[in-house]
Chain A
Amino acid sequence: MTKPMIKEVNAETGEEVIRDMNDAEIAQLEADREDFKAVIKSQEDRAIAKAALLERLGITDEEAKLLLG
């Protein structure tokens, strides 16, 4: 399997290196990936809960905004 890649650029000298990520960088990539997933799931869960609440109240999203505005 191809390793994730990283590009490193020195702004002062313009030197550029493209290389495979090392183990620590891959571990960070995996941790970040889980972090992204968790936040997106949390957003999705919130949207589902909101839709369920609106349905229970029998109002639309626009009407809810009017109430809160």
Chain B
Amino acid sequence: MAAGAGFKTFNTGDVLSAPDVNSYLMSQTVMVFADAAARTSAITSPQEGMVSYLKDTNATEYYSGSAWTAIGGGSSSSWTLLSTTAITATNSITVSSISGSYTELVVFVENFALNTTGNMAMRFNGDSGSNYCANSIQGQVGGTNNNMVGTANLFGPTQYSNLAATNNASFIVKVPFYSATNAYKSGTFYGSGTYGGTSDPVSWGGGISYRSTSAISSITLFSSGEQFIAQGNIKIYGVK
């Protein structure tokens, strides 16, 4: 195949010749394959500049002349935004039917606040059983560093940080292999906000363990009784 002939716009009535197909069309399209093995099988002599899309990893790649390379930074991982939920004036928000087709689940809770000073926590799959373990370190400017130990039936990106009312906070929860059905789940969380009753900046980070062999298909974010203020978002990404 003669790659790099340029770009051609075909007009009505044009005769599509074999050389046109080989030199233009095949270079102008994104070729879709089930996976890299299928691509290797189909294209035995890739040409520099070819572009392909792999369905198993959702990766768009170009051929550099010596290798297939991810477009946009060289990373082989790809993120897919599965859901964006506006935080509303409720006490609890559940996002369900989360696709299990990824290797990692990442939840961003952005710019949330409570209507009175309080705490927030999270559960998976609506499970309020004694199946969680969380431990994290909290740093508070103007205060003391605290070890935060989670309770058994929830885990707390923020539950012991005593968040100030109306001050915005954000946190991230990451769970690799969240859809595994043959293993318990483990992950990390970290975030920051303002300590309740003060203007002290506070941040925290730690690990979580979830004793369940069910795939995580829903998350529930809830407060210690306060209402969320209607601002910010919960964004859920699947990462491959």
A13 vs B118: C-alpha distance when bound (angstroms): 32
Asked if B83 lies at the interface with its beta carbon under 8 angstroms from chain A, I say: yes
Per-residue interface assignment for chain B, residues 139 to 169, with 1 indicating a CB less than 8 Å from any chain A CB and 0 otherwise: 0000010100101011000011010000000
Q: State the Cβ distance, B233 to closest chain A Cβ, in Å.
A: 11
Asked if A12 lies at the interface with its beta carbon under 8 angstroms from chain B, I say: yes
Per-residue interface assignment for chain A, residues 31 to 58, with 1 indicating a CB less than 8 Å from any chain B CB and 0 otherwise: 1110111011001000100000000000
* Cβ 8 A contact of B90, one of A5, A10, A43: A5
A5 vs B115: C-alpha distance when bound (angstroms): 14
Total A residues in contact with B, Cβ cutoff 8 Å: 28
Q: State the Cβ distance, A62 to closest chain B Cβ, in Å.
A: 11
**Cross-chain contact A7 with B85 (CB below 8 angstroms):** yes
Question: For window 64-100 of chain B, which residues contact chain A by CB distance below 8 Å?
Answer: 82-83, 85, 88-99
Asked if B62 lies at the interface with its beta carbon under 8 angstroms from chain A, I say: no
Question: For window 4-19 of chain A, which residues contact chain B by CB distance below 8 Å?
Answer: 4-14, 16, 18
On chain A, the residues within 8 Å of B97 by CB distance are 10-13
* Cβ 8 A contact of A12, one of B99, B153, B225: B99
Q: State the Cβ distance, B81 to closest chain A Cβ, in Å.
A: 10
**Cross-chain contact A7 with B94 (CB below 8 angstroms):** yes
A31 vs B151: C-alpha distance when bound (angstroms): 12
**Cross-chain contact A40 with B160 (CB below 8 angstroms):** yes
On chain B, the residues within 8 Å of A43 by CB distance are 146, 160
Can you list 7 A-B contacts (CB < 8 A)?
Answer: A6-B92, A9-B95, A11-B99, A29-B91, A29-B222, A32-B154, A39-B149
* A36-B119, A39-B159 given; 11 more Cβ-contact pairs under 8 Å: A5-B91, A7-B85, A9-B93, A10-B95, A11-B83, A21-B92, A28-B128, A31-B128, A32-B224, A39-B160, A40-B119
State the A residues within 8 Å of B (CB): 4-14, 16, 18, 21, 25, 28-29, 31-33, 35-37, 39-40, 43, 47, 61
